[in-house]
Each structure stands twice: as structure tokens, then as C-alpha cells.
Copies of this chain bind each other. A is one copy, B any other.
Amino acid sequence: MLWFKINYYSGIPVYQQIIAGFEEAVISGKLKADEPIPSIRELGKNLKVNPNTIARAYRDLETSGYVYSRPGIGYFIAAQNKQAIEEKAHYIIKEELTNTILTAKKYNLSSNNIKNIMADVISKVYGGE
């Protein structure tokens, strides 16, 4: 079934959450090139989301090169340049980290304090690997 969920309370627009779900699946390799993705109506029913919203997400995913459409058939995962993907992942994470560190600084946390939290988090997430 689906590997992502919609959080209706987060304030993040639904179509963006859908986009993020597919981007992540493509970047992580969970979805491979030319693999079909759910039809607009099917996904809409599944996520309890208006089909218009799914359509918009798919359109955006198409223009950013993550999927392609075969009219009358459906949407499929587009082939990805491996290096480009890695760079993209690197970029996204760096952006998110920068934002977090900026908030931390705003809250007067010392860099050492942050490093400690970071080590803690990494060991939990990557623990025993």
C-alpha cells in the first residue's frame, strides 16, 4: 500500500505533501523508472483527497521531472540521473539543517549544545548500523 500519509493538521498544503511523498520515493529508489503510479482517481479515493488536488500534484511532479504521463494510460516514474539525485538529496538536507540551526541560534543554544543533540539523534536513528 501507500508509503506516506497526509497530515491534515500540519498546515502544509495537501498537494505539497503528496509531491513530497513521491519525491522521497523516487530519490530513495523505492520507485524505479517506468514503474506506474496510482491513477488520480484511485489515489484520491485512497487518501480521501479531492482528485483535483492529486491532479495538481502529478502535474507539478511532471514539470519537475519526477514522473511522465502517457495520456489515456497513466503516470509513470521518470528515469533519474543518479548523480543529480544525490546532489538533490544533499541540497534538501542541507537546507533543512540550516533552518533548524538558525532556529537553535535564535533560541540561544550553543553550538556544542546542538552538536550533543545531533549526536544523540543520529545514534538513535542510525543506531546499530
> Copy number of this protein in the oligomer?
4
A residues adjacent to B (C-beta < 8 A)? 8-9, 11, 13, 23-24, 27-29, 63, 68, 70-71, 85-86, 89-90, 92-94, 96-109, 111, 113-115, 117-118, 120-122, 124-126, 129
Q: Do most interface residues of chain A lie in helix, strand or loop, or is the interface mixed?
A: helix
A9–B79 CA distance with the chains assembled, in angstroms? 12
Contact A68 B9, beta carbon cutoff 8 Å: yes
A98–B97 CA distance with the chains assembled, in angstroms? 10
**Which one of A96, A98, A102 has the highest number of Cβ atoms from chain B below 10 Å of its Cβ?**
A96
Given contacts A97-B118, A120-B94, A121-B101, contact A24 B106 (CB under 8 A): yes
Partner of A115, one of B89, B106, B122: B122
